[in-house]
Structure formats: C-alpha cells, structure tokens
Chain A
Amino acid sequence: MTSGQSGEPFDLVIEAGKVREFARATRSSNPAYRATGGAAPVTFLMSSELWTGPENAPWGDSPPSYERLLHGEQEFNFFGTPPRIGDHLTGITRVDKLYTKEGSRGGTMSFIETVTEYRRQGTDDVVAEVRSTLIVTGKAAS
C-alpha cells in the first residue's frame, strides 16, 4: 500500500429507503429523514460499503485484516447542505497517509488514513469529503 494510491470511482445514489433504515438504526425519529428531497443523515456516506467492491478500495485486493483492524477516527466535511435523498454522487477513495506509532496496549500500530471525495455526478463539484483513520494493531486491543 502506498499513499496517493486510489481505487476506481464508484456511483452512490441516496435512496429514500436506505435513508429511513439508516436514520432508524442511528436512533433518529426525525420526520425530516422521511421527507422527499431531505438531507441524508450526517454519517450516511458510511453506506458507500454497499456501492463498492474490491476495485474501489484504494488498497486493491490486499485489504487490512479484520481481526487486527480498529477504527480510529472518522470525519465528514460537507460543502453546503449534506447530500439529499435522490442525489447521484460519484466517489473516489485514495490512501492519504500511512504511518506507525508504538501503542501501550496494542503493540506497534500502523495507521492508514483514506479520503473519499464525493462529486455530484457528471460535475467537478465536490459536495462531501470523508476521511477515515484505520489502525492495524500488533495484537488484539483490550
């Protein structure tokens, strides 16, 4: 894995049913998430998982191992209102930074920071940027 490496672009459509499901899963009873053209939940772009395959991952076909993987940080930046129900977006994920730190409980920890940029389909307008920090631990954390 090297920084700058990116996966293939992918489509993501903000669907009303998925927004309802996501809002319910995150304890929201806000009727705005059931409204036509309403904004999607703040962390909804996590569901990009459903729109992507190995070809869209920045690390190709050698993903970090689930058993040793912890989620360190997650950041969402919106350039205007968060994406709305009905929006068609194109995402592309790149490895932004790679570094290691000595952990007190997990041995040597490798950090992987990825950034996914979302553009309105067919335009160059970036509407959202999602940054993930993943930690690969030397042993199971406790």
Chain B
Amino acid sequence: MTGILSWQDLAIGKELDAMVDRPLTVTDFVRYQGASGDMNPIHHDTEFAKKAGYPGPFAVGMLPAGIMATYVTDRFGTEAVRRFKVQFRELAWPHDVITYRGAVVALREVGGERLADLELAATRPNGEVHLRAWATVVVRLDSQ
C-alpha cells in the first residue's frame, strides 16, 4: 500500500506510480474463481481450454480487473470509488507479469465532493494491453 492521495497531490495529467505485479498463476485464477463463484473451467481446466481451441487456461479477466481496483483503492481509499469500468483487450496468461498504471484525466467538484476521473491500463510483459479501465473517485481535501 502507498499513502492515500489528496486533492493537492493531484493535477490533470498526473501519472500514478505504476504497480508491477508478481507473475500470474493458475492458482491465482482458482483463488479468484472461488472468491467470486465464477467457476468457468476455461480458466483452470487444461483439457477444457484446449477443447475450446486455446493453448491452455487463460486468466479470468475479473482477476486483473480486481487487482486494478486494488491499485485504485490503495491510492484513494476503500470508500472512494463511485464508478469503475473495465474493458478487456488481449487475453492474459499464466506467468504474465502485469503492470498496472493510471493517470488523472479530470478533476471536478460535484455536490460538495471533489472527484477525480482516472484512465487506467494493465499491460502484459510484451506491451499488449490486457485491459483498460476508467474510475471516478472521491478525493480527500487534506492528506491524513
């Protein structure tokens, strides 16, 4: 975890510190699938994945999406997020080291709350974008 960002830390165009994750494993997929209840075998059953035309199990997209949400809440707090959208691009695979990045694209005040809009991306080691994401967060006025 890093410190919680406050209003004076932010500016339009500001890039958030990147987070380089540890390599993805099928165990990570299984742990997430158990937590979420999405047991689609394509993410852990090699035979099933091959039968469906893939070289093997690939990442359940909502796992990197959830890690991206953690990336946001580690920087803005667990109660800050008002909107979070992910769009899946290239598949991610076991052993991939995914890098999570984000930047501030808008700052606004609505109904007495200070909001920041973020654009985020999770990339594979070869530079391919695994997912893009957008978040709106409520920002604290002062650092705590």
Question: B-contacting residues of A (Cβ < 8 Å)?
Answer: 18, 21-30, 32-33, 38-39, 41-43, 46-50, 66-78, 80-82, 139-142
B73 touches A28 (CB 8 A): yes
Interface assignment of B35: CB less than 8 Å from any CB of chain A: yes
Interface assignment of B18: CB less than 8 Å from any CB of chain A: no
Pick out which of these stretches binds chain A: B5-13, B47-55, B102-110, B121-129: B47-55
Question: A-contacting residues of B (Cβ < 8 Å)?
Answer: 1, 21, 28, 31-32, 34-38, 40-42, 51-54, 61-63, 65-67, 69-70, 72-74, 77-79, 81-88, 91
Assembled-state Cα–Cα distance A68/B42 (Å): 10
8 A–B pairs (Cβ distance < 8 Å), ordered by A: A22-B35, A22-B36, A26-B32, A26-B67, A43-B69, A66-B40, A75-B85, A75-B86
Residues of B within 8 A of A140 (CB): 52-54
Assembled-state Cα–Cα distance A23/B35 (Å): 9
A27 touches B82 (CB 8 A): no
Assuming the contacts A32-B77, A66-B40, asked whether A25 and B35 have C-beta atoms less than 8 A apart, the reply is yes
B102 → A minimal CB distance (Å) = 14
Residues of A within 8 A of B77 (CB): 32
A46 touches B62 (CB 8 A): yes
Set B36, B40, B52, B70: member contacting A46, Cβ < 8 A: B36
B88 touches A42 (CB 8 A): no
A33 → B minimal CB distance (Å) = 6
Assembled-state Cα–Cα distance A26/B49 (Å): 23
B42 touches A41 (CB 8 A): no
Residues of A within 8 A of B88 (CB): 70-73
A106 → B minimal CB distance (Å) = 10
A78 touches B83 (CB 8 A): yes
Residues of A within 8 A of B78 (CB): 30, 32-33, 38-39, 41, 82
A49 touches B37 (CB 8 A): yes
Closest A residue by C-beta to B71: A27
A27 touches B53 (CB 8 A): no
Set A39, A67, A72, A139: member contacting B87, Cβ < 8 A: A72
Residues of A within 8 A of B52 (CB): 66-68, 140
Residues of B within 8 A of A75 (CB): 83-86
B83 touches A76 (CB 8 A): yes
A125 → B minimal CB distance (Å) = 15
B61 touches A71 (CB 8 A): yes
